[in-house]
Chains A and B, each alone.
Chain A
């Protein structure tokens, strides 16, 4: 993540403009480094808090560097706030949801991008139109449905409603419109390939980069989802965010343990981010141009 990538040749040179973009001066670097410090500091502060004692955190002159208590505090957090269960639960939920969203979005996105059928524009309008409406507004009926299905406090209650995503469908549609040439499908059809076969051996390989980006974004969003999980689950069987909420509600008085819980709850996404940060940045910027 700290590796400095050289700009790929030929990518940033638009035809006639021989001149490279403006060189950044010392002031630009100073501002950017300052901003980076602000963006990164809360992570550092979590580590400091998580590795100190409660007494050290509530003193008139706070400690500014990490201390020796990290593992003790993490152990306490695992015990007091069910963070261990929460990590496993979040992993199950996030993986299942990611798989479901990527698959269903690729299928539907392909249909919207490349197939003609009756009701296409209406269905697409419904999908895009609801993309902007926050799902938070539907939690009350959703809660009633979950109670009726007797799924309260069980993981399916947070998995089922997230398995599909209107944004995902739109994202894959935009991706496939550009990435998948019509001629490829036509040729396969002339060769007598079945619809399923076309999807499996032509669409899927082409869609893979888009699916990867959508998968990363979905995993992070699901891991961090807050409103619905705290409504549907309880602190007995929590996801990470539900466990963090109980930490924040003051069930645990010791602030350094709260910080330790926060640290391990955030660590998995940070690892994903450290490994794939560049791709995630690329995905967001691509989505911005196309979206």
Chain B
């Protein structure tokens, strides 16, 4: 609506002198007309909820009567800090984050390196690698939960058929966290490989040629040409996957289908803990406090990342 009112074109018959100022006013307003559809909805459903979360977190709000808010100050936060399950979730978020992010990015880098060779069937490999990215968290987790089943899962069948002991992929802390991380790794490795591949293709070929002339092996070339050339891309993927890891939710929720994250909360993440507070225990105020803690965590991670990148740059010069 905003567009049609601000960009109505002047009648062509009007004399030039009269047309000018009106047209100019219209063209000054036009940019805001273009932005309006985005910003109106963005403010209502994007910015407002983010900021309002902080306000809600200072109130007692029940799920069933969510319009009624009672001021409680920082009580939601102090409760949170006293809850051992909160610290448990924070720890799990960290360990699952490492278990899913590090192997994922290392494998992606290796695969991208291979995809950068001259290959037959390049497109086939690239598309196949991206297929997991097209599946949903829910679908992927349901299938992996099958594969990791304790009694009838394919993985344990394979383990026992080569004479190894089956693993309890649900009740055991590390095994269950590996299971959850496997879903994340499967879904995102190919995506990151393509991002790295794009970065590698932007590295000038002459760099490799001169390195080869200096007698550098392929491995040396990878370490001294590819990795430095990819640094901005690597930082980008690290930031994005770390943020993703702090938000992990669907995988642990559907791994066994409950919001507790396992029988002894052994793989409950912060995202799942927030959902449990709000939608299993009906405390929206406390859930908002968890959300705000997660937000601060992301800000901290972003700052740490920026600091590391800045220091790296300084030592290089």
Known: A28-B119, A143-B284, A291-B236. 19 other contacts (CB 8 A): A23-B117, A36-B128, A39-B189, A42-B147, A58-B152, A60-B152, A104-B38, A107-B3, A117-B28, A141-B48, A142-B45, A147-B67, A192-B12, A224-B138, A226-B138, A244-B254, A248-B142, A269-B134, A278-B127
The reply to whether B114 and A28 form a contact with Cβ atoms under 8 Å apart is yes
The reply to whether A285 and B142 form a contact with Cβ atoms under 8 Å apart is no
Within 8 A of A (CB), among B259-317: 271, 275, 278-279, 284, 287-288, 291-292, 294-295, 298, 302
Cβ-based interface call for A270 (8 A) = yes
Partner of B32, one of A117, A227, A247: A117
Pick 9 A–B contacts, CB within 8 A, sort by A: A39-B189, A138-B52, A138-B291, A144-B56, A163-B45, A248-B257, A259-B142, A269-B136, A285-B194
Cβ-based interface call for A180 (8 A) = no
Nearest opposing residue in chain A for B6, CB measure: A195
Cβ-based interface call for A20 (8 A) = yes
Residues of B within 8 A of A (CB): 3-4, 6-9, 12, 26-28, 30-35, 37-39, 41-42, 45-50, 52-53, 56, 61, 66-67, 107, 110-111, 114-132, 134-147, 151-152, 154, 157, 186, 189-191, 194-195, 197-199, 201-202, 204-206, 209, 218, 233, 236, 239-240, 243, 246-247, 249-250, 253-254, 257-258, 271, 275, 278-279, 284, 287-288, 291-292, 294-295, 298, 302
Partner of A258, one of B27, B46, B142, B279: B142
Residues from chain B with a CB closer than 8 A to the CB of A110 are: 34
Residues from chain B with a CB closer than 8 A to the CB of A49 are: 143, 146
Closest A-B pairs by Cβ, 7 of them: A138-B49, A194-B9, A24-B117, A224-B136, A17-B205, A111-B34, A285-B198
The reply to whether B204 and A136 form a contact with Cβ atoms under 8 Å apart is no
Cβ-based interface call for A171 (8 A) = no
Q: How far is the CB of B298 from chain A (nearest CB, A)?
A: 7
Residues from chain B with a CB closer than 8 A to the CB of A178 are: none
Residues from chain B with a CB closer than 8 A to the CB of A105 are: 38
A137 to B296, CA, bound (A): 11
A280 to B278, CA, bound (A): 36
Partner of B31, one of A115, A249, A250: A115
A45 to B202, CA, bound (A): 37
Partner of B38, one of A22, A107, A240: A107
Q: A17-B209, A111-B31 are in contact. Are A130 and B198 (CB under 8 A)?
A: no
The reply to whether A269 and B194 form a contact with Cβ atoms under 8 Å apart is no
Q: Mark A66-80, 1 if CB is under 8 A from B, else 0.
A: 000000000000000
Residues from chain B with a CB closer than 8 A to the CB of A259 are: 142-143, 146
A231 to B284, CA, bound (A): 12
